[in-house]
């Protein structure tokens, strides 16, 4: 059996362990976040949502996912 290597990332300020070589797209899908209603920052850079399938996550990556909430 091939053992899948794990990596640690930080998402919205929380640590998370995921499979190595996962894409940003897979992560968002796993979290069941509606892609149309969010914006993503990957290591402080805003990501084009059309390109998230191509982004492979690495150890110590920092991801921010934001949406709109009530505010004045």
Partner 1 sequence: MIKDNLVVSNKKFNSRLIVGTGKYKNMSECAKAIKLSGANIVTVAVRRVNILNKNKPLLMDYIDPKKITYLPNTAGCFTSEDALRTLRLAREIGGWKLVKLEVLGDKKNLFPDMIETLKSTEVLSKEGFRVMVYCNDDPLMAKRLENVGASAIMPLAAPIGSGLGILNKTNLMIIRNQTKLPLIIDAGLGQASDATIAMELGCDGVLVNTAIAKAKKPFDMALAFKNAVIAGRQSYLSGRIEKTLMGVPSSPTEGII
Binding stretches for partner 1 (CB under 8 A): 11-14, 31-34, 36-41, 46-47, 49, 64-72
In angstroms, rounded to a whole number, what is the distance separating the alpha carbons of residues 54 and 38? Answer: 18
CB of 7 to partner 1, least distance (A): 17
Nearer to partner 1 among residue 7 and residue 42 (C-beta): 42
For residue 26, the SS3 value is helix
Instruction: For residue 28, count other CB atoms closer than 10 A to its CB.
Output: 19
Minimum Å gap between C-beta 14 and partner 1 is: 7
Instruction: Provide the minimum distance between the beta carbon of 43 and partner 1 in the complex, in angstroms, as a whole number.
Output: 13
Residue 27, number of CB atoms within 10 A of its CB: 22
């Amino acid at each position: 059996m091939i053992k899948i290597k794990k990596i640690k990332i930080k998402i919205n300020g929380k640590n998370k362990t995921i499979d190595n070589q996962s894409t940003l797209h897979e992560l968002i899908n796993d979290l069941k976040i509606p892609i149309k209603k969010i914006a993503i920052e990957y290591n402080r850079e805003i990501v084009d949502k059309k390109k998230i399938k191509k982004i492979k996550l690495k150890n110590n990556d920092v991801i921010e996912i934001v949406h709109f909430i009530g505010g004045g």
